[in-house]
């Protein structure tokens, strides 16, 4: 039987995840727009409305599945990538790099702000929820930096590669999506991501077991 506290954890973690994913995607669109690309706004993605960024599997099915499997203790997800047209950029190779880094950067900033809140309140104000928020944002930031299309790391790597090689590399996006799902299914988050996050928790002196 599901206890009320479990349901409450589901709700809180779900809200944290939705907010974090929304800010992640919005930051991509915001930076791209600042560099002269009207595509995010034209496609309705330059918004803080979570509904505009939902991916059926990544934002709904996957987080719910992980919440159930972890008894309401952990969730992870992703949203639809914000459409970007680098041909609108003055310096496509350089600008796409900053657009790619914008999403993970906002997650790391959120994690640092939540860490500050945790320390300032001396673990007395909903510490479990705040720690979960830090965990989710660190995983979102790190995972998205993996250079597998369509993750943000692929945009960063494509900015470094020569044009022809970059074009061929980004065409792997369809295959990349299957690779990402496969990595999640074989426990990539547990055996690769969580040790990294655990090290960051130690660095930040966060009192929590990962």
Give the pLDDT confidence of 15-48 residue by residue, as tens digits.
888 899 999 999 999 999 999 999 999 999 999 9
Cα of 183 vs its chain's centroid, Å:
16
Asked if 25 is an active-site residue, the reply is yes
Q: What is the pLDDT of residue 45?
A: 94
> What is the C-alpha separation between 49 and 54, in angstroms, rounded?
10
Short-list 59, 68, 75, CA closest to 7: 68
The answer to whether residues 197 and 142 touch, using CB atoms and an 8 Å cutoff, is: yes
Give residue 118's Cα distance to chain centre: 21
0.75 exceeded by pTM: yes
| 178/53 Cα distance (integer angstroms) | 20
Residue with tokens 């945790």: 118
pLDDT along the chain (210 residues), means of 10: 58 86 95 97 94 86 75 73 92 93 97 95 88 92 91 90 86 82 80 90 86
Exactly one of 25, 128, 132, 173 is catalytic; name it: 25
């Amino acid at each position: 039987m599901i206890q009320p506290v479990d349901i409450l954890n589901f709700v809180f973690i779900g809200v944290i995840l939705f907010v974090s994913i929304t800010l992640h995607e919005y930051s991509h669109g915001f930076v791209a727009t600042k560099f002269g690309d009207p595509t995010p706004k034209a496609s309705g993605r330059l918004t803080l409305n979570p509904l505009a960024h939902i991916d059926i599997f990544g934002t709904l099915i996957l987080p719910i599945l992980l919440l159930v499997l972890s008894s309401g203790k952990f969730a992870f997800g992703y949203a639809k990538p914000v459409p970007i047209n680098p041909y609108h950029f003055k310096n496509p190779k350089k600008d796409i790099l900053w657009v790619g880094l914008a999403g993970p950067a906002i997650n790391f900033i959120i994690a640092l702000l939540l860490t500050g809140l945790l320390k300032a309140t001396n673990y007395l104000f909903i510490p479990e929820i705040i720690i979960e928020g830090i965990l989710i944002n660190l995983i979102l930031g790190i995972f998205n930096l993996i250079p597998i299309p369509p993750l943000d790391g692929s945009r960063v790597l494509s900015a470094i590669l020569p044009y022809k090689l970059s074009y061929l590399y980004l065409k792997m996006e369809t295959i990349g999506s299957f690779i990402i799902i496969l990595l999640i299914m074989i426990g990539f988050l547990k055996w690769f991501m969580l040790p990294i996050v655990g090290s960051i928790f130690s660095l930040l002196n966060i009192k929590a077991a990962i």
